Amino acid sequence: MDPARDLLAAAVDIQPDTVALRRRLHRRPEVGLTLPETQATVLDAIAGLPLRVTTGTAVSSVTGVLDGGRPGPTVLLRGDMDALPMPEDTGLDFASEIPGVMHACGHDTHVAMLVGAARLLSARQAELPGKVVFMWQPGEEGFGGAKYMLEEGVLEAAGTPVDSAYALHITTNFGSGVVTTRRGPAMASSDVIRIVVTGRGGHASHPSAALDPVPVAAAIVLAIQTMVTREISVFDPAVVTIAKITAGTTDNVIPETAELLGTMRTLSEQNRRAVKEKLRRLAPAIAAAHGASAEVFIDDAGYPVTVNADAAADLVHATTVGLLGPDRAVLERDPIMGAEDWSYVLQRVPGAMSFLGACPPGLDPDAAPPNHSNRVVFDEDAMAVGVATHVAVALAALEGTPPPA
C-alpha cells in the first residue's frame, strides 16, 4: 500500500470515532472564549495520547505537543472550537441541544479532525522527525481567540520555535473531499464600521424646520459605494457593506440621529488603512454638505488579512495532489472575502489556511446552505479526508518535503 492510501485508510479506520466526537460537540455548542464543556470534551478525547497538554488561563484553550522520536522542525496544526449565537434548523438527529447556539461554521468538525490527526500522528511518534503542536482554539467567531493563545505562548509550547503552521476550514462551497488552498492573501481583513449622523429632530410633517438625518445617512451609503468603485483598484479590491441603518421611533417624528453599521473587507493591509482614511473623510463631508455632522467609528480589533506563505500553500497543494489526486486538490485563483483570526498566527509564522469541501451528496455547492446558515449540513465523510490531510501536511512539513518549483 502506498503512503497516501495508507493515510487515507488509517483516517477511515478511525472515522467512527471522529464522527462520534463531532456529534457530541455539535449537540453541546458553546460561544466565545470560555468553552468549559468543549474544553473538557477535547481533554477527554486526547487522554492517553503521548502529548504534553496545557490549557489556557485567559481562555478555554487546549494545546498539545507531540515530541517526535528524531530531531527536526516544529509544525503547528489548528482547530477552532467555538459555535455561533444562532438557532439550528437542520433537522439532524444530533442537532444542538442549546437554544440559540449552533455549530454553523463547522468548528465541531475542526476539533474532531484535529483529534483524529493527533491520534494518527501519535501512532507514528517514534519515527517523527520533529514536533507537532496541536492548537484547539476558542473564540474565532469575532473574539480573537488566536491572539489570546499567542499571548499565552502557544508558539513556545514545544520549547522550540514553530517553523510552519497550518489550518483547515470545512465548507459546503466545494464538493465533498476537495481540498483547496491559495498563495498569498487567502481571506480578507474584517473591520466593523459605525457611523453616527446627527441632524436636528422635529415633526415629520414639517421637515424644513428640522434637519433630517435619514436622507443624509442614505446619501452616505451611496457615496461609500461610489468611493469603492471609483477610488479602489479592482486589482486590490475592497468590500464595504452597510448592513444596518437605525433611526427614529415612530412615523411622525424626525429623529435627531441615524446610525449606520457595516463591515469593511480588504485583501491588503495597505488598502485596509486607505479605506479607513477614505471613510473618515467621506462621511463627515457628505453630512456637512447637508448641514449635519457625522462621526465615524472603526473598531481597531478587526481581523487582519490572512496571508498564506507561497511555500506553505505549495506544500499543501503538492501534498494533497499526492494524497487525493489532481481532481480533488485545487490551487484556487480567487481569495475569500470572509475573515479569520488565523491571520494573527500567520503574521508570526509562515503557513497556510486551506479549505475542505463537504457539500452533502446530491446538492450543488453553489446552492447548498453555506457556513453560518441555520440549515447548513456538512458531509461527514469528508472528515476522513480532513484528518488525512492534517497528517499528510504535517509529515511533509516535518520531513522538509520541498514544494514544487
88 classed as catalytic: no
For the 3-187+304-398 domain, the top CATH level (class) is alpha beta
DSSP lists the bridge partners of residue 307 as 185
Report the pLDDT value the prediction gives residue 201, as an integer from 0 to 100: 98
> Beta partners for 129?
70
| Marked catalytic residue, from 303, 332, 340, 399 | 303
Residues comprising the binding site for Mn(2+)?
Answer: 105, 107, 141, 169, 372
> Is 256 a catalytic site residue?
no
Counting every residue written for the chain, the total comes to 405
DSSP β-bridge partners for residue 194? 261, 297
Write out the chain's pLDDT in tens, 405 residues. Answer: 467 779 999 999 999 999 999 999 999 999 999 999 999 999 999 999 999 999 999 999 999 999 999 999 999 999 999 999 999 999 999 999 999 999 999 999 999 999 999 999 999 999 999 999 999 999 999 999 999 999 999 999 999 999 999 999 999 999 999 999 999 999 999 999 999 999 999 999 999 999 999 999 999 999 999 999 999 999 999 999 999 999 999 999 999 999 999 999 999 999 999 999 999 999 999 999 999 999 999 987 899 999 999 999 999 999 999 999 999 999 999 999 999 999 999 999 999 999 999 999 999 999 999 999 999 999 999 999 999 999 999 999 999 854 443
d(CA 74, CA 66): 10
Domain spanning 191-298, CATH architecture: 2-Layer Sandwich (3.30)
Query: Residue 233 burial by CB count (10 A; 0-12/13-18/19+): exposed, middle or buried?
Result: exposed
Residue with the three cell numbers 473574539: 143
Say what the pLDDT of residue 2 is.
Answer: 62
Point out the catalytic residue in the list 37, 269, 295, 380. 380
**Domain boundary assignment for the chain:** 3-187+304-398, 191-298
pLDDT for position 402: 46
Angstrom distance (rounded) from CA 20 to CA 128 = 28
- Rounded Cα–Cα distance for residues 42 and 136 (Å): 8
